Amino acid sequence: MLIFKLQSYLEAIASDASLYEKGNFEKRSEAIDFIGFGVIDQIDEYLLETTSPTLLQLRQHAEKVRSALEETDQQLFQHIQSNIRQGGYSGTAFKALITKYVDFNVHDPISQEEVGYDNLDVLINGLSLFQTMPEQTKDLEPEMVYYQKTPARIVFELVEKSFIRQEDVFFDIGAGLGQVAILVNLLTGIPTKGIEFEPAFCDYARDCAASLNLSDVNFSNVDAREADYSEGTIFFMFTPFHGEILQAVLEILRQESLQRKIKIITYGPCTAQVALQNWLQAAAPAENNAYKLGIFSSF
């Protein structure tokens, strides 16, 4: 009975031609998830109790159907990458391209109590030619925070809410694999810079930017306490560190703010410490939710 049910689900997916059209990215993502969780995981559970050649065959078939769908995704990613590389898509054109494939509205109030990823992340992750996470080569100090990616939806929201001007220069402090700096450049056209402590992450981020021909996206492999911020006007932090390191970097930014007005945008638990700085004003009343963007500007 179970085999019959899973088989018919799988056949319905395999024979749905619309799933193999590049444009149907969200529908395809749902089908890929369903094959993983609804079919393969179920088969694996049954295979723990019984050895059935038919179930094993069905599992292989499910893997094959999933690979074919993933192959269509790869074609879509290559199509978007090649458009970016040729310089055809930046600013509103890039946003329009992405919203063609993923239906979302940055103004939708989604209440997040933790970091959450969705189909937009799958699409944006696909823009990177390098899919294997590099190994960390340096130990972090106790107050430094391990790599975790800012959800792509949050980066779109950041661009929407921070009133970016063409003369702005954006810094991602603790840039990880570079996705925030790359996306902000694609969405706005302004120069972006990433500061990252881990050399392997920095190399990866540079390779990604180079593979997309983004010459205005640069990364420095340096401790945030030693970085040169003299060109920056907007500084983003997805909690790269806390405690004394955060305070030391905020003091450097305060010094920069004596030269020009700056904005600091935060995500994650560091927002609470940034909100305490008396040289910054919050753009919106502070909310008691670390996973909402904090937007601050110097006086």
Q: Is 191 in the site for ligand SAM (CB under 6 A)?
A: no
User: Which residue of 158, 195, 217, 246 would you call a contact of ligand SAM, by CB under 6 A?
Assistant: 195
238 binds ligand SAM (CB under 6 A): yes
What is the number of alpha carbons within 13 Å of residue 64 lying toward its C-beta?
10
Q: Which residue stretch of 27-35, 36-44, 58-66, 190-198 sits at the interface with ligand SAM (rule: CB under 6 A)? A: 190-198
State the amino acid at position 77 in one-letter form: F
- φ/ψ of 234, rounded to 5, equals -130, 125
Residue 152 interacting with ligand SAM (CB under 6 A): no
Cα Rg of the chain, angstroms = 22
Q: Which pair of tokens denotes residue 270? A: 């560091």
Pick between residue 85 and residue 138 the one whose CB is nearest to ligand SAM: 138
Task: Please report whether residue 266 would count as binding ligand SAM according to CB under 6 A.
Answer: no
39 CB contacts (<8 Å, ≥6 apart)?
6, 9, 10, 58, 62
Q: Which of 121, 157, 168, 172 binds ligand SAM (CB under 6 A)?
A: 172
Is 29 a residue that touches ligand SAM (CB under 6 A)? no
* Residues with Cβ within 8 Å of residue 34, at least 6 apart in sequence: 9, 13
Kindly report the CA angle at 204 between 94 and 142, in degrees rounded to 5?
115
- Based on the shown chain and the rule CB under 6 A, indicate whether residue 223 belongs to the binding site for ligand SAM: yes
Contact 97, 89 (CB under 8 A): yes
Per-residue mark of binding to ligand SAM, 105-124 (x: CB under 6 A): --------------------
CB of 13 to ligand SAM, least distance (A): 33
Task: Provide the minimum distance between the beta carbon of 163 and ligand SAM in the complex, in angstroms, as a whole number.
Answer: 21
197 binds ligand SAM (CB under 6 A): yes
Among 24, 119, 128, 150, binds ligand SAM (CB under 6 A): 150
Taking Cα atoms as reference points, which of 218, 207, 223 lies closest to residue 139? 223
Share of the chain residues as helix, strand and coil, in percent rounded to the nearest 5: 50, 10, 40
Residues near ligand SAM (CB under 6 A): 140, 144-145, 147-150, 172, 174-176, 179-180, 195-198, 201, 223-224, 238-241, 245
